[in-house]
Structures are given as structure tokens and as C-alpha cells.
Structure 1
Amino acid sequence: MSIAAQIIELAQKKGVLVSCAESCTGGLVAAALTEVPGSSVMFDCGFVTYTNAAKMKMLGVRPSSLQMFGAVSEEVAREMATGALAHSGAQVAVSITGIAGPGGSEHKPEGRVCFGLAAGDQLWATTQEFGAMGRSRVRTAARDHALTLLVQGLFSLP
């Protein structure tokens, strides 16, 4: 059974809806979840917020957070996840913001991806350094990590 199918089954058992807020993955998490037959019972919606303006407008990310920490930060990932909950009917949301490449900087290198997870009243953020392994591979690795986080978030719910 795929991890996406596990998420659907677990969310269904818990009676919760799932949402996602994606930047560098451009909808790969939503696509993975909706690829599974029956996903409509647990997948509420996905937000693809590639620009800072979209993050602010669609998810309520604060301009001060973007200015102070940058879009690729755990702070913004947290706000994206809480915004996905606030703007959907979901009880669990994962967010992704990162630098898939090519490019990056000394302070924010290619392959750095920040994740947020909001599950009920719990909120986590983490950063993964996937390295400069190419845009497609970073995006795929980020999708897979986000799906794993969703499983963890679902298990944390009563």
C-alpha cells in the first residue's frame, strides 16, 4: 500500500480532512493524494502558493515573516500550514516551501526545504537539506517527506 493510500485510510478512520499548502512542489502532494481512488472522502483542498503575494493572500502569511525570515523558513512554513487549516475544512495540513534549484545562495542553498505541519492544536516545523540533486529530485523528495509528515500528524490526533 502506498503512503498516500495509508494517509487516506488513516484520515478516514480518524474522521478528519487533510489539506496542503505547497510552494516548490507545485501541487505534487495534492496530486499524490488525489491519485488514490476514494481520496475525496479525506482530501479537502490544496493551495499552490508559489509567490509571496499568493502566500499572503491565500494563506495569511504575514509580510513581516516573509521580510524577516524569507519564504524558505520554518516560520513561513508554520504560517502556511496554519493558513491551510484556517482557509479549509481540514483538521490536518502540511506545508512545503523551499529551493528546488537550480541556484540558491550561501545562506539558503539549493535543496533546502522547510515543512510545516498543523494537526489539531499542534504545530511543527522542520527543515530538510536534500542537497543539490537536481530540481526534479528535490521536488520528489520534498513530496515524499511531506507525505511522511502527514502520517505522523494523523497519528498524533486522538
Structure 2
Amino acid sequence: MSKPIYVLGGPNLNLLGTREPEIYGHETLEGIHTRLRSLSGDVPLEARQTNHEGELVDWIQEASREGSAVILNAGAYTHTSVALHDALRACKVPVIEVHLSNPAAREAFRQVNYVAPVAKATIAGLGAYGYELALLAAKSLTGQGEN
């Protein structure tokens, strides 16, 4: 059995579908996870969300040991967390950063990004579809993609 791809979400992603839908869309995080599971084929997914920085760091460390890749939407921690940056730097599997909106086109404080320098790739501004692209990329990077 192949190692799972971890799909990790940071603070406030549990509010997707209701929080600022004009920015983040109407789809819920549960809906995104359901769609990813249907697209993952034989590759298991470990999908989680937390509002707590330390828990997200613990999950990244777990994914480094037990997973094949990480798809990460760190939410606001993208712009604030050196702890998250350090955990990602130590991560031994590919990390793909995902953002529903395009942080580069938003507020000045969102221009700081502690995730991108330690991620294999970043997908931003494509809404929930960005997660599907990240899944395809993760499968390809780990040799679990379709030939």
C-alpha cells in the first residue's frame, strides 16, 4: 500500500463556504476533501484541518515520516509562522502550497510568505480547483500518478 498524501489546512479553513465567499468561494473544506478522495484513485489521503499552529507542525512532522507528500494551505500561518517554516524545511517529502485566493494580489501583510521558500511549488488564486492541481502534482512527484 502506498503512503498517503497529507492534505493539511490551517486556521479558519473550517469556515470555508461561509467566510468571505467572494474571496474564498462557496465550497466547504469537507467538499474539497471529498472531491480529492474521489480523484486520488489508489493513493490514500490524510485530510486534516486545525486552528492551532503546534498541531499543524506536529502533522507536518508526521507526514515527513509516514506520508509521500504534503498539500498545505497554511492560511494565515503562511504569513506569520517561523515554526511552520522550520517544520517544512525539515520535511523529507514534497510540499505543495495551496491558496484559494492570490495572496500576492491582496493586503500588504500577505506579501510575507514563510511557506513558499520551503515548498516544492505554490498554486494560488484558482479557488478549490487549486487543490485538484496540487493532488495531480503530488501524485506525479511521488511516482503515484497515472502513466
Coarse TM-score class (shorter-chain normalised): 0.3 to 0.5
More strand by share: 1
Given the two structures, how large is their TM-score scaled by the length of structure 1? 0.42
Given the two structures, how large is their TM-score scaled by the length of structure 2? 0.44
